[in-house]
Amino acid sequence: MTEQTLFEKVGGEQAIEKVVDYFYSELVLKDPTVNHFFEHTDMEKQRRHQTKFISFALGGPNQYTGTSMSKAHKGMNLQPEHFNAIAKHLHDALAHFGVSEEDIDQALTKVNTLRDDILYQ
Which pLDDT score is estimated for 52?
Answer: 87
Which pLDDT score is estimated for 1?
Answer: 59
Instruction: Flag residues of the chain having pLDDT under 70.
Output: 1, 64
Which pLDDT score is estimated for 16?
Answer: 95
User: Does residue 1 sit within a domain?
Assistant: no
User: Does residue 3 sit within a domain?
Assistant: no
Is residue 96 a known part of a binding site?
Answer: no
Is residue 82 a known part of a binding site?
Answer: no
User: Does residue 95 sit within a domain?
Assistant: yes
DSSP symbol at 38:
G
User: Does residue 19 sit within a domain?
Assistant: yes
Q: What crossing angle do the helices spanning 101-112 and 43-57 adopt, rounded to 10°?
A: 110
Q: How many domains does the chain have?
A: 1
Which pLDDT score is estimated for 44?
Answer: 96
Residue ranges making up the domain that contains 23? 11-118
Q: How far apart are CA 19 and CA 23, in angstroms?
A: 6
Burial (CB count within 10 angstroms: exposed 0-12, middle 13-18, buried 19+), residue 53 = buried
- CA nearest to 91, candidates 45, 62, 54, 61: 54
Q: Which residues of 76-108 are buried (b: 16+ CB within 10 A; e: fewer)?
A: eebeeebbebbeebbbebbeeeebeeebbeebe
User: Does residue 2 sit within a domain?
Assistant: no
User: Does residue 5 sit within a domain?
Assistant: no
Which pLDDT score is estimated for 12?
Answer: 93
What's 64's domain CATH number? Answer: 1.10.490.10
Which pTM does this prediction carry?
0.90
